[in-house]
Structure 1
Amino acid sequence: MTFPDRPASRETGEWVMRDWDLADREERRRVYGYLLRAGLPLWIYRWVDGALLVDLWPELDLPSPLRKEWQPLIDHARQGPTEDPMRVSFDDTKMRRAEELQERIAARRVEAARRLTQRDA
């Protein structure tokens, strides 16, 4: 990923660009720190991986107000889902089966009405 290494030069107004390897932990730490401090929301969405951010969180050098704003999201991600995955899966399957049954019943009613109409005609 090509991204600024330092703010734009005062003399030229040009950014000092650098290729960053987000697979490298140290480089990812620097990019994530920069993005959280100065990045646009779209940049954060595009380049910050949530699981990797949680992993790097204790190592990021962030201003206290910024860390305080992000901390609830990090804590929530660390706790994992609040639902029981087995129950969610079971409930979803049960709901899908009920919907399929309703569709089959509706189709049979339509077919029965069609037959009655043809018989009476």
Structure 2
Amino acid sequence: MEAKSDENQVPNLKRKWDQFVIIPSKSSQETKKEKQLCLEDFLHLFLVMSSNKAIDREDITNFCTDIPSSFNIMTREFMSDVHELATKAQANDSEVDENGYTILMQYLIQGRGWLILNTLHNLATQVR
């Protein structure tokens, strides 16, 4: 029964990726927020699937037909996020939260940053 559930996640991963990619990057603030949420949905599912040993790694990376382009898209998202957060940190004089983290550290340790890096790490074996 569990294997069937695992198999159903692969098309779901592809659907989530397609939802993210189809939204234009240069758009309204509301659409940008929707695009970010679609990426986060994809990244969370990718993390769950890549942690599940019952799912073949090749199946996980088959969410798109062009892994190098997907890798580049996620790298661009990561770099855009870092640039935006660094700009905010500079404007706010690198405010530190209650845990001693700056906004950029939060992104890399607890936020979307580490999810993107995890996905890039898993895709790196496919990009050659």
Q: Fold match, TM over 0.5?
A: no
Q: Which entry has the higher C-alpha Rg, 1 or 2?
A: 1
TM-score when scaled to structure 1?
0.31
Which has a greater percent of helix?
2
TM-score when scaled to structure 2?
0.29
